[in-house]
Amino acid sequence: MKSLLCAAALTLACAAPALADKAAADQCAAGLGPDAKAVYAAAAPGFASAADPRALVTEKTKALVQSGALSMSNARPAAEAAGACLTQLR
């Protein structure tokens, strides 16, 4: 599971930087599937101010898996999809 979450976090690191735009990020998130929306909702409040946004997404995704809200098999794709929207918050 740790390697799965690390891979998701690395995907976020490779995303192109974008100007902070909460409205655009929220609009992007509206088109996500339910699992990715859950990751986005968990990570979005602290994403812009996080010293390590990858670690934040990893932590939030892991917490969703541990709580049973997200399956381990869907964790990586959900984090990657959410990451595409979350990067718009930075």
Closest CA to 31 of 70, 79, 82, 69: 82
Scanning the structure block, which residue is given the tokens 């898996």?
A: 65
In this structure, are residues 90 and 18 in contact, taking their beta carbons and an 8 Å threshold? yes
Per-residue pLDDT tens for 50-69? 999 999 999 999 999 999 99
Per-residue pLDDT tens for 23-50? 999 999 999 999 999 999 999 999 999 9
pTM of the model: 0.78
